[in-house]
């Protein structure tokens, strides 16, 4: 049971970040590497704020704002300074490493005894002791659902439609007399805001910030988005955002199964990747069958 809880915990945290990657990678068609820096940015800021006595909820919001600012910078570098998309992400990601280190003060900042969104007097009062494991999942699920619903609603607004149009057909946006550059910057801001928000949640759950926590974030994000959208493609009615959340949980389930099987420690990664490959191949096969019958 607690393995499933663990998978849900990890999966839901990374789902927040993956929703951001969904915006850049799937909607804007922009491979944005800055999330490797904005995910720990959210964590660093949270550690500092929480230790300074700021409420953990405020820390979440400020993390989002900080991430969004960093995303704007990636966008401005790309749009205004005309730097290639991949490179502008790399520039911001690299710079953020120093920023995060400066911000946190050192590479590892524990705050086990501070209030977090998961452990504070209010939560402890409302939820009985025995259910504290489940409370983490419930809180995470609430956050993920709020983010998902807000994102779904946003994508239906005028600005959201423009965002989608920039990825599909840039000329259309220009012909509507809208600046596609601004739309891109906005998309990057939201995406990196979500990555930083995820970083903040991650740190609050673990009780410490670690500078290396960001390494490979984009890889996880991309895998989550691709696994999710691939796996659930044939369920046409399912929203892509839901698919991404499920993809994140499936990703972490794969890692967990690999650990659970208890193979040689060095083989962990290859088993994980074999599971991914298996999932993608199976979902490919399904797709074809559906087409044949149609």
Contact residues for other proteins, defined by CB under 8 A:
1-10, 14, 97, 101, 106-108, 110-113, 132-133, 141, 145, 148-149, 206-208, 210-213, 215-216, 220, 237-239, 241-242, 245-246, 249-250, 252-253, 255-257, 259-262, 265-266, 268-269
Pairing of strands 208-210, 108-110: antiparallel
Q: Which is nearer to other proteins, 120 or 182 (CB)?
A: 120
Q: How far is the CB of 72 from other proteins (least distance, A)?
A: 24
User: Shortest CA distance to 84 belongs to which of 31, 28, 162, 38?
Assistant: 31
Q: How far is the CB of 150 from other proteins (least distance, A)?
A: 12
SS3 assignment, position 110:
strand
DSSP 265: G
Q: How far is the CB of 221 from other proteins (least distance, A)?
A: 12
Q: How far is the CB of 129 from other proteins (least distance, A)?
A: 9
The answer to whether 77 and 84 have CB atoms below 8 angstroms apart is: no
Q: Which is nearer to other proteins, 10 or 185 (CB)?
A: 10
Cα–Cα distance, 36 to 55 (Å, whole number): 25
Q: Which is nearer to other proteins, 53 or 262 (CB)?
A: 262
Q: Which is nearer to other proteins, 7 or 66 (CB)?
A: 7
Q: How far is the CB of 41 from other proteins (least distance, A)?
A: 15
Q: How far is the CB of 78 from other proteins (least distance, A)?
A: 24
Q: Which residues of 62-101 are buried (b: 16+ CB within 10 A; e: fewer)?
A: bbbebbbebbbbbbbbbbeeebebeebbbbbbeebbebbe
Q: Which is nearer to other proteins, 61 or 138 (CB)?
A: 138
Q: Is the dihedral of CA 277, 278, 279, 280 positive or negative?
A: positive
Q: Which is nearer to other proteins, 161 or 260 (CB)?
A: 260
User: Shortest CA distance to 164 belongs to which of 17, 18, 34, 22?
Assistant: 22
DSSP 127: S
């Amino acid at each position: 049971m607690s393995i499933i809880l663990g998978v849900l915990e990890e999966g839901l945290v990374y789902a927040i970040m993956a929703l951001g990657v969904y915006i850049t990678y799937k909607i804007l068609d922009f491979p944005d590497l800055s999330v490797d820096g904005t995910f720990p940015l959210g964590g660093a800021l949270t550690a500092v704020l929480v230790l300074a006595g700021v409420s953990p909820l405020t820390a979440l919001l400020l993390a989002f704002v900080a991430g969004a600012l960093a995303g704007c910078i990636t966008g401005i570098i790309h749009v205004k300074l005309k730097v290639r998309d991949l490179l502008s992400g790399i520039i911001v990601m690299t710079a953020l490493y120093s920023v995060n280190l400066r911000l946190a003060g050192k590479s590892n900042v524990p705050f086990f005894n501070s209030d977090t969104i998961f452990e504070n007097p209010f939560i402890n009062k409302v939820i009985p002791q025995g259910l504290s494991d489940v409370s983490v999942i419930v809180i995470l699920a609430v956050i993920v659902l709020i983010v998902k619903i807000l994102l779904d609603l946003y994508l239906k607004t005028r600005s959201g439609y423009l965002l989608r149009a920039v990825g599909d057909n840039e000329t259309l946006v220009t012909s509507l007399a809208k600046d596609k550059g601004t739309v891109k910057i906005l998309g990057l801001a939201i995406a990196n805001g979500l990555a930083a928000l995820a970083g903040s949640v991650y740190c609050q759950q673990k009780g410490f910030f670690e500078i290396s926590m960001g390494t490979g974030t984009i890889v996880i994000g991309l895998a989550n988005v691709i696994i999710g959208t691939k796996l659930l493609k044939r369920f046409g009615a399912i929203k892509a955002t839901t698919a991404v959340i499920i993809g994140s949980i499936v990703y972490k389930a794969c890692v967990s199964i690999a650990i659970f099987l208890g193979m040689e420690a060095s083989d962990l990664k290859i088993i994980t990747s074999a599971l991914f490959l298996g999932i993608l191949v199976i979902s490919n096969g399904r797709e074809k069958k559906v087409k044949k019958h149609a």
